[in-house]
Structure 1
Amino acid sequence: MLKHFPTMVKNKETLLIAFFLPLFIMTTIYAVMGVYPFGDNTLLTVDLGQQYVDFFSYYRHTLLSEPSALFYSFTKAIGGDMVGLWAYYLMSPFNLIFLFSPQKLLPVAVTLLILLKIAFSSLTFAYLLIARFEGKGLLVPTFSVSYALMGYVIVNQLNVMWLDGLVFLPLIVLGLERLIDGKKGVLYSLFLGIMLFSNYYIGFMICLFLGFYFLFAFSKKDLSGLPSLKSKAKDFIVQFSRFVFFSALGAGLSALLLLPTFYSLLGSKASYTNDMIDWSFAYPPAEILSKFYIGAFNFDQMPTGLPNVFIGTLALLAFIYYFANEAFSKKERIVSLLLTVFFFLAMNVQFINKLWHAGQYPIWYPYRFSFTICFFFLLNGFRSLQKSKVFPLPLACSILVVSAVSAIYVIKKGFAFLEPAQVLASSILVVLFLIFLMLRENNYKWMPYLLLFLTVAEMTANAAIDLFRLGYVKYDQFNDYQVVLADALKDIRMPKDDFYRIEKTFQRSKNDSFQANYAGINHFSSTFEKEIPALFGSLGFPEGNGFVVYSTGTLFTDALFGVKYQIQDKKLPEYIYDDKAIYQINRNATRPDLQKYALSSETARTTTYENPYALSLAFGVSKSVLDLKLIDNQPILMQEQLLDAFTDQSSTQPFFALKTFDSTVFQNVTSNTADYQNTTYFKAAAGMVSRIEFQFTPETNNPYYLILDSGIDDKNANLYLNDVKLDYYKTYRNDQVINIASNQAGENVTFTIELIGDNIRIQDLKLYEFDQNSFEQVIADRQTEGMEISDFSQTHIEGTVHIKGDDQVLMTTIPYSEGWTVAIDGEPVETEKALDSLLAVPISQGEHQITFTYRTPYAIAGAAVSAASVLLLLLLSRKKIANNQTSPENEKNA
């Protein structure tokens, strides 16, 4: 980099334009959108609002207040290794901005983060064009703006951690180009290592692209000085070997993070890999044409859309011209053409697409690697215009014909994200740019300014159209929720040397615990270990690949997971008070059984209950708990078996007693059977309200729980409890346990299913009464054998436990991991797995001192590899410097 410093100084005006132009464009768009401080909007939408902003809060807290949470945290569901989460979401050097941002201004810091990454991606691309490809003048910022504001960046800026790939890719390619020239590979390895450290996922995609880019870059080499095919092959082998070596060295630099992350992935993201090989097309190939038009995006393109390949009209025309430009060798253009064909196939053929996504089809945000292909297009488009100012008339005419055919095709196809005006605008730009490209050979002084202006106008229009089609969280609404949560937590936060969990009947996101820093259970991330969703799914909670929602708890699950406090919102309508909007909180749970707990505290918006049955983080149980296996879609049976295993005996009376509904009332509904199990219900007459009412009168004040069939959701039914719409989390794949009554002896209770479609099939709808007295006896025994914690941190827990009777297992609600070691009375013991997911250890009768310690698996090995790689890189760098200092040319010049 220092070698190129004079180049940077010489071209500082160009680089400054490249940096500040996209910064100004995006700031202006955000201001028009009303993004705070220009209005009350934020950029928090989809995953940026539901995941990343909460992780950024955790990032601040960890680095500023609690370093042990860097490795393990109980804010992640019931606990979890954090290295994988850091590696995927939080290792970008740009994130340091959050350390200087107050918590209240976190959404503003997110906006600045996005702006900086976009500006720096333009800067690094411009630097590559100047330092390697003789870029000069306004053509450089023209293409760097197209790079920084291409369609991929605009629609994926909410996935802010992916933008680092845009920033570092040009620097990595610069290093690779120099490496292929026979120069030192330090720059290449260094920036590749930084990229892998910053985000291994996008780094993996870049690594795949670099393999193809190496073939392209080598095809550019002039091998005329090599006399034979054998010598040329030898040169290729030498250069490829250096490429592999310095690539491995770059990976080695980041092994400190990569090795522990790889281990973590085996239990999370990688565990969902599908081995199926599918060579089919994801979409008709011609449909990709639609994505080269201005504003070719809407919300529906996020879950299952086409690749985002919009790069601007000028860049696209220049790339097409590249293949006809005789300034480049036929060999290079043939290799580039073959790679281009392969790239389009990679964005369509299912199996290649899956490989580029590390063996997994992406859930939402498809074709996440398409930025590397756009980089290839933009780079060669720039090279083509840089090398030649003559644009052939026959090519221009051919492009006009293809453009007209394409426009007719996309209009007739009727893509939802394309209006005729967008197609017309892009078609007009094709004509204008073709005219100006053919006039370039006249060397008009105004031409570079015009090309830059039109490009800026087009990229700005594309960004504005794309961004205005999304919905965003309000700044005041975001902060209002944080205030409500902080007030509710104020008096119930854990003391320094204690541990318990807190949950709520409402949420802003599944990662509220990260935002407000408390031990909860809800969680959502791509690096979530699969065993924990499986555990909660078997107990009747909403879960999926990467998330758990603790919205269907029972008295038993609250006790089991040590949920000492439950916070419930007061259902207030949205209203204005002292000129400030008070926002309704999103409730996702129905819990009448919270009345069984003691009232702990109240705020204007929430009520907090203290659970007297909450168990410790570790407690003694019968060894029969180790024999239990998770059961699918029978959550009541799973909870029943757990309660029995706690005492190593089957109760004479079940804890959950099956009850029948007193009556069922049908309104405009018919069924194919008289039973309400495994039954399909049909609307009797179209256009009329169709409801099924299940009625019963509780005989006791015990809690009553209903099994809600996994096939019933908000797409086919509206659910009501006593004519009030039921609060429940509506995304789930297993049967849920819904609490529909408590302390309501003698009162009529009605559960209603209102059909949305023409029919609905109900496979499971069972009512259970929970025996609270029997439950209290079992829990009281477990509480006497609970661990009394004397020292607690995220990675080190100490305490004492008194085991009575025949109990031989110390069970915990800590997820099982090889990173945990346990010592009893100072002696290490072998850990075991309970319920296929939880940490347990054998223990004997009596009083014991217990110590839990967490060490990130493979962290030491990774650190050793990184240290060795750094040392090797330094030695190679010093060797090269020494060689340069003693070379004959240097001696001659001395």
Structure 2
Amino acid sequence: MIILQLSIKNFLQYQWPLLLAFFVPCIILSVIYIVQGVYPFGNSSLMTVDLGQQYVDFFSYYRQTFYEDPSSFFYSFSKSIGGDMVGLWAYYLTSPFNFIFLIFPQNQISLAITCLTILKISLTGLSFGWLLKKSFNGHGFILAAFSISYALMGYTIVNQLNIMWLDGLIFLPLIAYGIEVLLSEKKGLLYSLFLALALFSNYYIAYMICLFLIGYFFFRLLGMSYDSNLSLMKKIKLNLSSVLLFFWHSLLGAGLSAFLLLPTFFSLLESKASYTKLLFDWETSFPFHEMLSKLMIGAFNFEQMPSGYPNIFIGSLALLSFCFYFFNQSFPLRERFFGLILTLFFIVSMNLKAFNIVWHALQYPIWYPYRFSFVVCFFMILNGFRSFMKMEGLRPLETFFSVILLAIIGINVYQNDYDFIEPIQIIITIVFSLLIIFMLIIKSQAYKWLLFLFFLVTIVEMGTNAQINLSRLSYVKQNSFSTYQHLLNTDISSIEDRDTGFYRIEKTFSRSKNDSFQTNYPSVSHFSSTFEKEMPKFFGQLGLPVGDGFVSYSNGTLLTDSFLGIKYYISEQNELYRNSLNETNLLNKLPLSEEKKQNKLINPDFQLSLIQTKPDLRAYLPFKESDKTVIYENPYALPILFGSDRNILTVEPPNNRPIQFQETIMRSLAGLPNKTSLFIPADFDTIVYQNIAVTQSFKNQSYVKQIFNEEASVTFQFKPKTNDSYYLTLDPNIKEEDVTFYLNGIPYTQYPTYRDVLVLNLAHLNKDDTITFKIALKKSRLSLNNFDLYRLDQDIFSSIIKKLQKNNLTIKNQSNTLIQGTITIQPDQELLFTSIPYSKGWSASIDGVPVETKKALNSLLVVPIKPGIHSVSLKYQPPWLKEGVILTFIVAGILAISHLLEIKINNKCDCND
């Protein structure tokens, strides 16, 4: 016990600056979260923007992978209709700190996010402090002050919602420490290991670190000092050996991560990298002087997220010390000159679009601009610390120019009138800067209390900046999230208790496009940066809202629901769907469930966020309801595998004709002749104009308000002659901000259009009812293109489904990476059609014999097969995974040998000396 107490005492005596570097950011953030009422300190949560729309769902999936199904690490049917997951893991989930999600239950995922955010930012300060202590003689309060500046810099606070990027900030100082060891001891093991760890944690941010390290290494190499007795040739050889070691160990560091990077690279070729266009724009994004605004305290608001200036706030102490670095003669002139070149390069990179796109892996970022600015902040803070440690104190001339420059910057920022900076922020920034200047003037007096004062001022300034920035974010209510989570879990459990087979589930509402990850069910909607490009393209051709990286299944038809295997639909309680069920309304016979009672108690004010209006739900059978939702079963849903005609291989998606594409797919699957029509063009009976002038004729018409300040609308009316479903195609140029839709006088919910012609459902089981579709103009003009009405022939559709459902599929073994079963192929069928995205990772065997897979509809997996009863096996293995694992083992062996050789060579050199 005494030994333990002495050990703790010694640890605290020598490591207290590092403890401050860790715990001060931890305490500051905790206090801010308490003030902001962030859960568990209130009813707010950090789940806003992408953290709420993507990451929180992926974190739930992370837990499910470890606790329920490890195969989903490689592939998951929760990712749209199926997709490779290695790339998604590499971008979002491979952080070693994510283990924290295994500790918390799923219903406390938001609390886990709060804890993880605080932990990562605190570790950022600790790792920077470690670098200062081990490589730059850092100690005491000044080590803690600069470490806190790094942990709470503007970049960290603003981007803490992108929680997976914070790993790069933690590992960058450790990588820099590895470079210091490489330069001083000629040993690159630590550098390779830390670089590999950064690449493993988040390759995207690690890519930016790698670019930075090229310049940083040569900067530090130029700052190396050698014995004056060494000859010029010897110095050149030493520098050359350091350069070779740097590049050699950089390759080894990348090679250690090959088991993840190689399959991720393949995944990127199919997703994020496929959007890359090598177009270099040599224009600047803004006048250079406007970047000065981000040096002000609290220089942030929500508008800075989608398109703003680089986040380079690092605090007065670090910034002023960095500026004085270039005039500090304690450092070699060659080093300071190269440091100036690097600094100018960084400034240009944060403005010149051509350089900016290179930093972002040849893709302009969507939201969160200048994501690499953390390396610029690291460079400034580190060299600010080095400068401070060798600074005797400010001379009068330095003081004079510092104050003049500070005044010029303050006046410039004030005159530009930025919407994210109030005059008080400028005043506070100047006050902190003047205080730091004064303390630097008296630094030469070596007062014992002065270093503590630097530390105290830094805490107040960085804490104030963090509080201002975080107070300008909109926080999602925790009780709304937890209520939705409970409601969805309950509904999904009801479906799983009813049906243990493979099927997909969709909803008329959503919290995010990744709800399927939150509750672990196969779906269609999805949003991620690693989404395969072919999927949004395919669903856009079917008439769904899509974009680069997302699909929203909010415009499905009876046809798409069928061949995609959407067997269950969860809808909000909606009289539009209930009233027309008439005598088949099973809901009238359903008892009030326990879930319905419970949901009332959880959050009675909770409202679902609707994404579609879907009258054709009346074609499905309701079997369960709660206070908020109704669950329907789709009798037309096809299995994930079924026999098909070979004609599907020849189908080419038409441009902007989703109805025709859907019809061709179903007709080809069933082997019907081209003259068979499922969708029959229909006409509106009447069109009613209110305050509208029609400026064009026929289908491509423009409608213009006659009196601008009064309401204006166009109402289309028709009376269905059958109970079939009616669908309307809508041009994507009509945006949410342009119009409001109404169906039979009730607001029509439609996910905001994006880039493809959409398909809207207007009626089902509405024979002889008058259907009105009203478009209310929000702006002065509206143009309607591709505005066509169609009737689905229910009889032909039903006959096709009955034919395709005769395959008698029996799945015997099923996981995310393996599907095995038996199937009966009809005499006129020669193809096994699947609603699985085509990928080279899928292999197939029929009756134990390997069969080459093919691609249908430019996107889906199909397998040639003969009529009869067959055993079928589909197996997925991520492309290049095996090669990546082998390469990692080889590189690990090479690194071990290389390290031993470096030790031997260094020992030999020491003996010669």
User: Which residue of structure 1 lines up, in the alignment, with residue 656 of structure 2?
Assistant: 633
User: Which residue of structure 1 lines up, in the alignment, with residue 238 of structure 2?
Assistant: 235
Report the Cα distance in structure 1 between the residues aligned to 2:120 and 2:766, rounded to whole angstroms.
57
User: Which residue of structure 1 lines up, in the alignment, with residue 310 of structure 2?
Assistant: 307
User: Where does 1:392-431 land on structure 2 (aligned, <5 Å)?
Assistant: 392-431=395-434
439-448 or 55-64: which moved more?
439-448
- Does structure 1 residue 207 correspond to structure 2 residue 210? yes
User: Which residue of structure 1 lines up, in the alignment, with residue 578 of structure 2?
Assistant: none
Report the Cα distance in structure 2 between the residues aligned to 1:681 and 1:181, rounded to whole angstroms.
74
Letter in 2 for 1:814: I
Q: 1:220 to 1:648 in 2, by over 3 A?
A: same
Q: Deviations over 1:599-645 (max 9, x none)?
A: 12112211011001100111111111111122232110111111221
Letter in 2 for 1:349: L
Please point out which of 51, 56, 73 is paired with 1:53. 56
User: Which residue of structure 1 lines up, in the alignment, with residue 695 of structure 2?
Assistant: 672
Q: 1:884 to 1:334 in 2, by over 3 A?
A: closer
Please point out which of 606, 609, 617 is paired with 2:632. 609
Report the Cα distance in structure 2 between the residues aligned to 1:757 and 1:132, rounded to whole angstroms.
63
Report the Cα distance in structure 2 between the residues aligned to 1:714 and 1:880, rounded to whole angstroms.
64
Cα pair 1:616 1:786 within 8 Å, conserved: no
User: Which residue of structure 1 lines up, in the alignment, with residue 853 of structure 2?
Assistant: 831
Report the Cα distance in structure 2 between the residues aligned to 1:652 and 1:337, rounded to whole angstroms.
73
Q: Deviations over 1:242-283 (max 9, x none)?
A: 101001111111111000000010000100101112111111
User: Which residue of structure 2 lines up, in the alignment, with residue 853 of structure 1?
Assistant: 875
Please point out which of 750, 753, 757 is paired with 1:735. 757
Tell me the SS of whatever aligns to 2:286: coil
Cα pair 2:483 2:602 within 8 Å, conserved: no
Report the Cα distance in structure 2 between the residues aligned to 1:710 and 1:824, rounded to whole angstroms.
43
- Does structure 1 residue 702 correspond to structure 2 residue 724? yes
- For the aligned residue pairs, the C-alpha RMSD in angstroms reads 2.1
Letter in 2 for 1:78: I
Q: Deviations over 1:24-72 (max 9, x none)?
A: 0000000000011211111111000010000000000101111111111
Tell me the SS of whatever aligns to 2:711: coil
Letter in 2 for 1:641: T
Report the Cα distance in structure 1 between the residues aligned to 2:208 and 2:229, rounded to whole angstroms.
34
User: Where does 1:681-760 land on structure 2 (aligned, <5 Å)?
Assistant: 681-760=703-782
Cα pair 2:58 2:518 within 8 Å, conserved: yes
User: Which residue of structure 2 lines up, in the alignment, with residue 773 of structure 1?
Assistant: 795
Tell me the SS of whatever aligns to 1:142: helix
User: Where does 1:452-463 land on structure 2 (aligned, <5 Å)?
Assistant: 452-463=455-466
- Does structure 1 residue 150 correspond to structure 2 residue 173? no
User: Which residue of structure 2 lines up, in the alignment, with residue 467 of structure 1?
Assistant: 470
Q: Give the deviation of 1:498 after TM superposition.
A: 2.5
Q: Deviations over 1:353-398 (max 9, x none)?
A: 1111111111111111110010000000011011113122222221
Instruction: Tell me how many residue pairs correspond in the alignment.
Output: 885
Letter in 1 for 2:852: E
Tell me the SS of whatever aligns to 1:705: strand
User: Which residue of structure 2 lines up, in the alignment, with residue 139 of structure 1?
Assistant: 142
Q: Deviations over 1:581-603 (max 9, x none)?
A: 43100010111101111112112
Report the Cα distance in structure 2 between the residues aligned to 1:629 and 1:7, rounded to whole angstroms.
74
Cα pair 1:504 1:567 within 8 Å, conserved: yes
- Does structure 1 residue 104 correspond to structure 2 residue 126? no
User: Which residue of structure 2 lines up, in the alignment, with residue 90 of structure 1?
Assistant: 93
Cα pair 1:497 1:790 within 8 Å, conserved: no
Q: 1:497 to 1:818 in 2, by over 3 A?
A: farther
Cα pair 1:7 1:131 within 8 Å, conserved: no
Tell me the SS of whatever aligns to 1:728: coil
Q: 1:354 to 1:52 in 2, by over 3 A?
A: same
- Does structure 1 residue 261 correspond to structure 2 residue 264? yes
Q: 1:181 to 1:884 in 2, by over 3 A?
A: closer
Runs of 5+ consecutive residues of structure 1 not aligned to the other structure: none
Q: 1:620 to 1:331 in 2, by over 3 A?
A: same
Letter in 2 for 1:309: I
Please point out which of 139, 144, 165 is paired with 1:162. 165
Report the Cα distance in structure 1 between the residues aligned to 2:625 and 2:75, rounded to whole angstroms.
32
- Does structure 1 residue 524 correspond to structure 2 residue 527? yes
Cα pair 1:588 1:729 within 8 Å, conserved: yes
Q: Give the deviation of 1:886 after TM superposition.
A: 8.2
Letter in 2 for 1:772: Q
User: Which residue of structure 2 lines up, in the alignment, with residue 646 of structure 1?
Assistant: 669
Report the Cα distance in structure 2 between the residues aligned to 1:804 and 1:121, rounded to whole angstroms.
62
Report the Cα distance in structure 1 between the residues aligned to 2:345 and 2:236, rounded to whole angstroms.
23
Q: Give the deviation of 1:719 after TM superposition.
A: 1.4
Letter in 2 for 1:619: F
Q: What percentage of aligned pairs have identical amino acids? A: 46
Tell me the SS of whatever aligns to 1:303: coil
User: Which residue of structure 1 lines up, in the alignment, with residue 679 of structure 2?
Assistant: 656
Q: 1:215 to 1:283 in 2, by over 3 A?
A: same
User: Which residue of structure 2 lines up, in the alignment, with residue 331 of structure 1?
Assistant: 334
The normalised TM-score by structure 1 is 0.96
Q: 1:821 to 1:635 in 2, by over 3 A?
A: same
Q: Deviations over 1:684-737 (max 9, x none)?
A: 112111111111111111011111210111111111112211111114211111
The normalised TM-score by structure 2 is 0.94
634-643 or 557-566: which moved more?
634-643
Q: Deviations over 1:498-527 (max 9, x none)?
A: 211011110000000000010111100000
Q: 1:596 to 1:376 in 2, by over 3 A?
A: same
Please point out which of 572, 583, 589 is paired with 2:612. 589
Cα pair 2:307 2:368 within 8 Å, conserved: yes
Cα pair 1:616 1:788 within 8 Å, conserved: no
374-383 or 576-585: which moved more?
576-585
User: Which residue of structure 1 lines up, in the alignment, with residue 368 of structure 2?
Assistant: 365
Q: 1:143 to 1:94 in 2, by over 3 A?
A: same
Letter in 1 for 2:678: F
- Does structure 1 residue 383 correspond to structure 2 residue 405? no
Runs of 5+ consecutive residues of structure 2 not aligned to the other structure: 1-7, 576-595
122-131 or 581-590: which moved more?
581-590
Q: Give the deviation of 1:540 after TM superposition.
A: 0.4
Tell me the SS of whatever aligns to 2:164: helix
Please point out which of 780, 783, 789 is paired with 2:811. 789
Cα pair 2:186 2:906 within 8 Å, conserved: no
Letter in 1 for 2:850: P
